[in-house]
Amino acid sequence: MAGRAAAAAAVSPTSGVRQIASDYLELTKPKVQSLLIFTTVTTMYVAGDPSLGLVALTCLGGYLSAGGAGAVNHFYDRDIDAGMARTANRPVPSGRVSPTAALTYGLVLATAAVLVLSIGVNPLAAALSFSGFLGYVLVYTVWLKRSTPQNIVIGGAAGAVPPLVGWAATTGSLSWTALYLFAIVFYWTPPHFWALSLLMKDEYAKAGVPMMPVVRGERETRKQILLYSGLLYAVTQLPFCAGGFGGIYLACSVGLGAVFIFGAVRLYRRADRRSALWLYLYSLAYLALLFAAMVADMKL
């Protein structure tokens, strides 16, 4: 018995350090970050031929900025998170990380992001990344999330900033193609998150978050998903029509978009959780494949 207690005591410090590291990593929302970083990197290779060092610094700065926004979001939404089963065990509502520590951590990461991007990349990339931080924290988290079912639509602009950062990092400027990529992510965001909100409707309602299915109902949410899926398809054709991409991108955007619309139509007609989950998961793959198609179109 004494031997087991001693072994547990010996392991405990290491386990504690691992838990702390895991919690602070979770504050940066790494799962969400992976797709943001991917759109940044692919955009950089669409814009030109950046060095590996430039790509690494841009990704580091982007991760710090978005991670800082995520940590501040954890701080501000701790009351909402505590009321939802999916988020109740997050570091702040669970009590493993104090609200003050999460807020401080987020602001430190955001400051570090500005320094990394300003010094290692260029001021435009730093300014764009910081605008994304402010948009996510102040516009989406503080203002829109708790006040309107259009929170995802307007707040989605913050999540669409990474392609602008990637383009600015590579070229030092912006172009119409960069704005088209921003628009693609912007119009992708509502159907993506509304599909998730259909799955989490009861928890959002319990927490008092005015997501679309809570305020407008599930039928209206499915209708809006279908509408925005059509708008997304149209927007994805703009880069080709403007001469920014060629046949590879056109074929992929048409095919991927057709499947997206098919999923939205099926969700509208069936109105079941399985269709909502399928569309949510497909939307993740859709955006990654679409941006990969852009690189293939430019490089092949």
**Lookup: tokens for 227:** 């509408």
Q: How sure is the predictor about 12, in pLDDT bands with cuts at 50, 70 and 90?
A: low
pLDDT digits (tens, 9 = 90+) for 50-98: 999 999 999 999 999 999 999 999 999 999 999 888 899 999 999 999 9
Intervals of CATH 1.10.357.140 along the chain: 14-173
Calpha distance 132→65 (Å, rounded): 8
Rounded to 10 degrees, what is the CA torsion of 48, 51, 53, 54? -20
Residues of the chain with CATH 1.20.120.1780: 175-300
Q: What pLDDT does 14 receive? A: 78
Q: How confident is the model at residue 15 (pLDDT cuts 50, 70, 90)?
A: confident
Residue 1, pLDDT > 80, answer: no
Q: Distance (Å, rounded) from C-alpha 130 to C-alpha 113?
A: 8
The CATH number given to 14-173 is: 1.10.357.140
Which tokens belong to 202?
Answer: 């009861």
Asked whether the whole model's pTM tops 0.85, one would answer yes
Q: What is the pLDDT of residues 187-204, one digit of tens each?
A: 999 999 999 999 999 999
pLDDT exceeds cutoff 80 at 123: yes
- CATH topology classification for 175-300: Four Helix Bundle (Hemerythrin (Met), subunit A) (1.20.120)
Q: In this model, does residue 113 exceed pLDDT 60?
A: yes
